[in-house]
């Protein structure tokens, strides 16, 4: 395969009858699509934008909360030869407009409420050449130049692949203050990252990834969109982030993988610790003994089958099938990571930055170490330069996931990438075992 479109197209052919997407809303299920159904909807979206003049290499920006239409729009756009521009829905309207002005997409897919906020800023000139597609508009809502989400007859669809070295996505590393920096990541960048992560954290038939982090976030874009679908998994969306609803959805669907920011993970830990503290003393002694036994039995490597039997009541809080928690976006507390590992649900701690795809390093699970951000993933090199007497210096990285450069910023690109090495700006040290500590 030469591009992300090829990979997603192969998946829809291979896994036709499997469930690709589920959209939950607290106690209800709003959407459930098989791969075949998702394929037809994505092709319909692609046919619609192609019929409106969308050409291979044009940019398609997506500005929405997590939902199935995010993935359908992205898939249809990639099948139309698009360069995707995933945008952060949590930014202010002014910040979002700055990014849209910078990348000037041919198509923007957004929600009705977000479109209202953007229009209220009075910067309509940004959209003079943009087809704005709005999902779920209210009845009678004035969309102005925008059109409601729609699909066209798939007979008008033409699949357009891209070359590996062409730009797949423009991802903004910062939307606040200063000049926006659009990181250009190629199809080769993403395919290399997917290959590495698929080996480390494979998905099996029946696996479900709970997409909680915003899909524009590097971890969720890779694990909760590309990798999950490429491997035949199911992506589960839910818009509320309240811990009780997260837990109930994990229980209802038997979630196997999830990516969380540390603050959400901390809330889940707090709830679990409270339940343990409420146990009668004799029950707590039994649980502590089982925790000790599990820790010894899984010291060398995770064993979900064993842990989920020894500590069934604890695992059942998360649906009983959760194998990994991916944590990113901020510092992960070591004790918190060790708490979940002791239960038998390892926390995968990675280090990466927008300029280098998803992750450059991943912490060891065989045996578990929560005190570092791990070793470099396959084909990636990490160096510490200009180190002081304690071995602390600037982290530089080289590998197949390093970006092509910053959109329209050759000087900034030359500063950031030197002889193939990415200057991260972060300080760190490498221990004797090759683990990176920040």
Write the Ramachandran bin of 300: left for phi over 0, alpha for psi from -120 to 50, otherwise beta.
alpha
Put the strands of the sheet holding 147-148 in their side by side order. 147-148, 131-135, 107-111, 59-63, 83-86, 167-172, 182-186, 405-406
Q: In the chain, what percentage of residues exceed pLDDT 90?
A: 82
Cα(177)–Cα(175) distance, rounded to whole angstroms?
7
pLDDT at 174: 61
Q: In the chain, what percentage of residues exceed pLDDT 70?
A: 99
Q: What are phi and psi of 425, to 5 degrees?
A: 85, -5
Q: Tell me if 160 sits within 8 A of 56, measured CB to CB.
A: yes
* 214-226 mean pLDDT: 94
pLDDT at 416: 95
pLDDT at 175: 40
H-assigned helices in 254-363? 262-277, 281-297, 304-310, 312-316, 334-343
Split at pLDDT 50, 70, 90, the class of 261 is: confident
Q: What confidence tens digit (pLDDT) does each residue in 4-54 have? A: 999 999 999 999 999 999 999 877 899 999 999 999 999 999 999 999 999
* 260-274 mean pLDDT: 90
In order of start, what are the domains of the chain with their CATH numbers?
4-185 (3.40.50.980), 261-437 (3.40.50.12780)
The tokens for 219 are 């971890």
Of 318, 366, 362, the C-alpha closest to 340 is 318
> How far is the CA of 217 from the CAs of 9, 90, 387, in angstroms?
23, 11, 31
Split at pLDDT 50, 70, 90, the class of 430 is: very high
In sequence order, which residues have a C-beta less than 8 Å from that of residue 330 and are 6 or more positions away?
A: 261, 262, 263
3-class secondary structure, 262: helix
Q: What confidence tens digit (pLDDT) does each residue in 51-100 have? A: 999 999 999 999 999 999 999 999 999 999 999 999 999 999 999 999 99
Q: Which own/partner pairs from 176-182 qualify as long-range (CB within 8 Å, at least 24 positions apart)?
A: 176/91, 176/95, 179/409, 180/98, 180/99, 180/102, 181/406, 181/407, 181/409, 181/412, 182/85, 182/99, 182/102, 182/103, 182/406, 182/407, 182/408
Q: What confidence tens digit (pLDDT) does each residue in 112-151 have? A: 999 999 999 999 999 999 999 999 898 889 999 999 998 8
Enter the pTM of the model.
Answer: 0.94
* 266-284 mean pLDDT: 92
The single residue listed with the structure tokens 């997603």 is 8
Q: Tell me if 82 sits within 8 A of 162, measured CB to CB.
A: no
Q: What confidence tens digit (pLDDT) does each residue in 148-191 have? A: 998 888 888 999 999 999 999 999 986 434 577 999 999 999 99
pLDDT at 177: 44
Write down the mean pLDDT value for the chain. 93
* 243-253 mean pLDDT: 89
* 320-340 mean pLDDT: 90
> How far is the CA of 236 from the CAs of 20, 164, 232, 318, 320, in angstroms?
9, 29, 13, 14, 16
Indicate the burial class of 280 (C-beta count within 10 angstroms; 0-12, 13-18, 19 or more): exposed
pLDDT at 239 over 90: no
The single residue listed with the structure tokens 């050449």 is 129
């Amino acid at each position: 395969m030469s591009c992300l479109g090829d990979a997603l197209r192969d998946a829809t052919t291979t896994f036709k009858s499997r469930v690709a997407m589920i959209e939950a809303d607290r106690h209800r299920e709003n959407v459930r699509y098989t791969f075949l159904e998702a394929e037809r909807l994505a092709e319909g979206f692609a046919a619609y934008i192609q019929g409106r003049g969308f050409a291979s290499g044009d940019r398609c920006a997506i500005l929405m909360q997590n939902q199935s239409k995010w993935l359908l729009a992205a898939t249809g756009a990639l099948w139309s030869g698009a360069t995707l521009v995933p945008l952060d829905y949590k930014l202010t309207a002014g910040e979002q407009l700055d990014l849209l002005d910078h990348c000037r997409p041919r198509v923007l897919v957004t929600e009705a409420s977000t479109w209202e906020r953007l229009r209220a800023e009075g910067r309509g000139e940004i959209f003079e050449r943009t087809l704005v597609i709005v999902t779920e508009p209210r009845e009678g809502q004035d969309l102005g130049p925008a059109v409601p989400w729609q699909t066209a007859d798939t007979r008008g669809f033409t699949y357009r692949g891209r070359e590996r070295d062409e730009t797949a996505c423009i991802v903004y590393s910062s939307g606040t203050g200063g000049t926006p920096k659009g990181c250009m990541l190629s199809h080769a960048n993403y395919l290399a990252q997917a290959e590495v992560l698929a080996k480390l954290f494979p998905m099996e038939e029946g696996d479900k990834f709970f997409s909680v982090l915003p899909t524009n976030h590097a971890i969720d874009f890779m694990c909760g969109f590309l990798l999950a679908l490429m491997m035949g998994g199911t992506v589960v969306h839910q818009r509320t982030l309240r811990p009780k609803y997260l837990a109930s959805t994990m229980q209802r669907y038997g979630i196997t993988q999830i990516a969380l920011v540390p603050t959400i993970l901390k809330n889940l830990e707090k709830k679990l610790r409270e339940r343990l503290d409420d146990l009668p003393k004799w029950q707590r002694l039994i649980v502590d003994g089982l925790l000790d036994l599990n820790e010894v039995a899984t010291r060398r490597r995770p064993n979900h089958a064993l842990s989920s039997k020894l500590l069934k009541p604890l695992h059942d809080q998360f649906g009983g099938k959760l194998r990994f928690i991916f944590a990113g976006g901020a510092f992960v507390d070591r004790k918190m990571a060790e708490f979940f590992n002791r239960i038998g649900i390892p926390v995968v701690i990675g280090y990466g930055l927008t300029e280098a795809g998803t992750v450059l390093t991943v912490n060891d699970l065989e045996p578990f170490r929560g005190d570092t951000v791990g070793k470099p993933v396959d084909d990636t090199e990490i160096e510490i330069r200009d180190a002081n007497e304690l071995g602390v210096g600037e982290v530089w990285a080289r590998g197949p996931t390093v970006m092509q450069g910053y959109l329209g910023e050759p000087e900034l690109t030359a500063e950031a990438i030197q002889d193939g090495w990415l200057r991260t700006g972060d300080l760190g040290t490498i221990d004797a075992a090759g683990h990176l500590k920040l």
